[in-house]
Amino acid sequence: MPGSSRFSRAWLVLSLLWVLVGCSGSAIPRLTQRVLSVAAGSYDDQSTSKVAVSAFRTEIIWAAGLPALKASRVTVRYDVHERSLSWQLVIHGTPYRLTQLAGTDHLLTLGRYHGDLVQEVESGALQGVVARTGHGRVLLDTQAYLVHYDVGLDAFVNAHAAGSPR
């Protein structure tokens, strides 16, 4: 077909423009990309130790810190069958604020739980992640992780977010 190669080239150009613009103009901030990369396993080879906590959960530790997050210590706990959906990231001694790590100012404050300020990320790449700050650290938990491994915090989040639009 004579017009099909023109159509293919036009489709290719449009596809490349879409990718270059950032798939909708809203690119993920670089620091938030690093947070997601740590949770997903991109930095596992730099870790100090990897421990099977149970048959379903693994813990990876960067005891000497992780330069990607400017942290003195980092721990990732995750479900071995659903790492991309069910993880907890604990970041100690980072100079970054939660808004910088999450890549958004849209945080829903839920209250205090065991002395930590609890907030839910309301937009961006970490939307739905529950964050706790205090004691010189930031903890980030996916909803799936809370359901399986921290039912107390999950109940707290559900009770305090009940009156807020989710």
Q: What is the mean pLDDT of the chain?
A: 86
Q: Total structural domains in the chain? A: 1
Find the mean pLDDT for residues 139-162. 95
Residue 4 lies in a domain: no
In Å, the largest CA–CA distance within the chain is 69
Query: What's the domain range around 56?
Result: 27-161
Q: Is residue 9 part of a domain?
A: no
User: pLDDT, tens digit, for every residue of 47-73?
Assistant: 999 999 999 999 999 999 999 999 999
66 found inside a domain: yes
- Please indicate, yes or no, if residue 68 is contained in any of the structural domains: yes
d(CA 99, CA 107): 8
User: Above pLDDT 70, what percent of the chain?
Assistant: 82
**Is 165's pLDDT higher than 70?**
no
For residues 141 and 79, is the Cβ–Cβ distance under 8 A?
no
Q: Tell me the two tokens of residue 127.
A: 């939307």
Range with top average pLDDT, 12-16, 29-33, 161-165:
29-33
Q: What is the pLDDT of residue 161?
A: 81
